[in-house]
Chain A
């Protein structure tokens, strides 16, 4: 299948852009590389047949989170010069190797159930079944409502914190 080829191209771009995010000195360019990384991951979701997830990935990670990060960068003071080497670099490297190693070992050791492609009728996509899964009475409607209430509480808390006396 030609999607296998696309998958590998996207995978290489994803890893390369993820490396750029951590290695680039210019923090604005690093943020742009992160946008590329998010977008390519959405492409990976498409090759796996998860259309809804791919679209939501672009919508939330590129459209909202990356923009917020860029705004935060603009409000930081030392953006215009290239960033200095961070003192926490070695600590971060050690933490990365510990965590990354644990992740790789854990993922490669565990036994995953074999993937069976869902037998979907033409053009059905995944959004309808996801919607039923989330909003049906036997589904996840209660966790959804709880998370919505929590987000609302967080927004109100943030407003309370920045409020003028």
Chain B
């Protein structure tokens, strides 16, 4: 019989076996303090790394040099940008809803960093809270991001901001469903909702066992965090900068950090769910996680540098007509395999089977489902009556 714990220890779900012996695992407040500081520091450093890697990487794709002046090879460019934004004048439109205008960047930024509470960053069990409902926690927190976008779009009292906010809500609400369904396939295989348990269950990375789920999750994640080709919220050619058109100075910097913070969180979640998280030989666990996150992020900005932006109806069609049914079928297949396939070493055989099923389904969908849809026919009143 386990000893009765305090509510704090139950909520944080500290697992002392993953931590060094000197660790104060029986003092949840000290544990929480250390890991909150460490997680946020990790996330912020990764934001700077991602900004640098993306700016230089996209520049290479476009045959430019990219920022290379501040510091050696331009690594201090993000710092220089931040200082510039800090010193800029903060302009609030006269007709704006001042309070909401001020709160929106904060509401947009905080959830991106709250995700890291449940991601095993430093090794087995070395995380802020090994929540048993960790997957649900991640989904719930990421649904907060919509609120920040909507607050910004509404408070700016600018029609482009408002259009962007409406697009954002439509896009994020639609893509949340396939995202959750894709993660469900992984959860069925892992048999747990704890992110640490999901990493533990990956003797074979789930990207191989669940290739279709990995693809669906990657696309839905790109749409959730508004990466190109899904960046309709800030489509410069149509609606200026979208919901943060009316933001300047530090508030704009917060939106910038929020965007890359969501990208970091999405990459960390993808690495944890599909690529085995911190697992890997020789190198320390956190380094493996960083490498996998950078690989995921590279694929993301590779798509950004290569693909043009989708139209609104195409984005909606992809989400509802392609990703959602495929994700549901994937969950069904995963459930059948877990029920009837003998667990053990024969799991390797599922890898080619699932890759074949995934490829077949994607091929079938690409042949049958048209993403165009949403055609608007304008009819006069007389035509309607006739």
A-to-B contact residues, CB < 8 Å = 1-3, 26, 28-29, 32, 35, 46-49, 51-52, 55-56, 58-59, 62-64, 66-67, 70-71, 74, 117, 119-128
Contact = CB atoms under 8 A, between A and B. Distances in A.
B6 interface: yes
B interface: dominant SS: helix
Interface string B1-31: 1101111111101110000000000000100
B136 A56 contact: yes
A14 B129 CA distance: 25
Contacts of A52: 132-133, 136
A49 B132 contact: no
Contact of B136 (A55, A124, A128): A55
B140 A55 contact: yes
B9 A67 contact: no
Contacts of B218: none
Given A35-B147, A47-B7, A67-B146, A122 B139 contact: no
A3 B7 contact: yes
A62 B8 contact: no
Interface string B158-175: 000010001001000100
A29 B10 contact: no
A67 B29 CA distance: 34
Majority-rule SS of A interface residues: helix
B143 interface: yes
Given A46-B11, A120-B5, A70 B150 contact: yes
Contacts of A125: 10, 13, 131-133
B2 A63 contact: no
10 contacts: A28-B154, A29-B99, A32-B100, A51-B132, A52-B136, A55-B133, A62-B147, A63-B143, A64-B173, A67-B147
B193 interface: yes
A129 B146 CA distance: 31
Nearest to A55: B136
Contacts of B133: 51-52, 55, 125, 127
A1 B7 CA distance: 8
A56 to B, nearest CB: 7
Given A63-B176, A67-B150, A122-B13, A127 B132 contact: yes
A117 B132 contact: no
Contact of A119 (B2, B97, B139, B147): B2
Nearest to A60: B140
A2 to B, nearest CB: 7
A128 B132 contact: yes
A1 B144 contact: no
Nearest to A26: B97
Contacts of A55: 131, 133, 136-137, 140
B11 to A, nearest CB: 6
B184 interface: no
Nearest to A68: B173
Contacts of B29: 2
Contacts of B5: 120, 122
Nearest to B191: A128
Contacts of A32: 100, 147, 151
A121 B6 contact: no
B318 to A, nearest CB: 21
